[in-house]
């Protein structure tokens, strides 16, 4: 794992296996011996004790309009992506978590807000289990998010073939770190392993202004 967003985890994120690490606070071990995060926070690995724990972040009450949020895709309909929101995040100048919501809020990304491009098949953009960053555009009922703009989209995914971590390899795809399987996604620019190209930088500046 290489980008600055990698240490931030949400409940369920795989942190390692029992043979390698000892499950510490803020983590649990699943039936298959994988250690996973149980809270939103920053993963910490201790090489001397071989322990892994998650340092939790402060608690926030409600999502605010314009906030950037961290969430997990729980369902994908033909014209709507359903997201459980866990935390408010800062994207610039570096990705960081401002705070975790005291309860999980469910929000939707309507088809028109998925991308600035024409979206033919929503499944080429998001799938269940994706950990994403999005922006709150309405706090009314229903809570509405947008992932238009290069900064927004997938940080990491779970492989549909083997269940391991998938990391972004370019703005439109993620690749499994275990079996090499590649799937289409809308990837957040902050999750990409390489610094953004000049073209992407221009796009980012336009998104921010
Ligand atoms: Zn895989």
Residue with tokens 């953004």: 196
Report whether CATH 2.40.50.140 matches the domain 57-209: yes
Q: How far is the CA of 165 from the centre of ligand 1 (A)?
A: 7
Q: How far is the CA of 175 from the centre of ligand 1 (A)?
A: 8
How confident is the model at residue 97, as a pLDDT? 84
Angle at 152 between CA 151 and CA 155, to 5 degrees: 100
Q: How far is the CA of 162 from the centre of ligand 1 (A)?
A: 4
**Does residue 208 have a pLDDT over 80?**
no
8-56 and 57-209 share one fold: yes
The ranges assigned to domains in the chain are: 8-56, 57-209
Residue with tokens 């919501």: 101
Residue with tokens 């930088």: 201
HSE, CB side, 13 Å, CA atoms: give it for residue 94.
7
Q: What is the mean pLDDT of residues 140-157?
A: 94
- Indicate the helix (H) or strand (E) that contains 144: strand 144-146
pLDDT 10s digits, 171-207: 999 999 899 999 999 999 988 865 444 554 555 454 4
Percentage of the residues of the chain whose pLDDT score is greater than 90: 62
Rounded CA separation 50/104 (Å): 31
Handedness of CA 64, 39, 189, 150 (dihedral sign): negative
Beta bridge partners of 54: 43
Mean pLDDT score of the chain:
87
Q: How far is the CA of 28 from the centre of ligand 1 (A)?
A: 22
Cis peptide upstream of residue 179 (ω within 30 degrees of 0):
no
Q: How far is the CA of 133 from the centre of ligand 1 (A)?
A: 22
CATH topology assigned to domain 8-56: OB fold (Dihydrolipoamide Acetyltransferase, E2P) (2.40.50)
- pTM of the predicted model as reported, rounded to 2 decimal places: 0.75
């Amino acid at each position: 794992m290489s980008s600055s967003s990698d240490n931030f985890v949400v409940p369920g994120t795989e942190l390692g296996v029992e043979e390698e690490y000892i499950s510490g606070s803020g983590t649990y071990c699943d039936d298959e011996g994988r250690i996973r995060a149980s809270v939103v926070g920053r993963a910490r690995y201790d090489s001397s004790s071989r322990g892994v724990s998650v340092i939790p972040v402060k608690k926030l009450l409600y999502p605010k309009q314009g906030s950037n949020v961290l969430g997990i895709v729980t369902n994908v309909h033909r014209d709507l992506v359903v997201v459980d929101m866990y935390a408010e995040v800062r994207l610039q100048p570096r990705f960081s978590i401002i705070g975790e919501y005291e309860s999980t809020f469910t929000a939707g990304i309507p088809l028109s807000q998925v991308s600035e491009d024409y979206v033919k098949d929503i499944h080429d953009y998001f799938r269940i289990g994706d950990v994403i960053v999005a922006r709150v555009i309405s706090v009314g009922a229903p809570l509405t998010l947008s992932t238009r703009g290069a900064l927004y989209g997938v940080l990491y995914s779970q492989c549909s073939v083997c269940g391991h971590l998938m990391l972004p390899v370019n703005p439109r795809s993620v690749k499994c770190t275990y079996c090499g399987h590649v799937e289409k996604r809308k990837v957040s620019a902050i999750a990409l392993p390489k610094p953004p190209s000049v073209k992407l930088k221009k796009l980012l500046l336009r998104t921010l202004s």
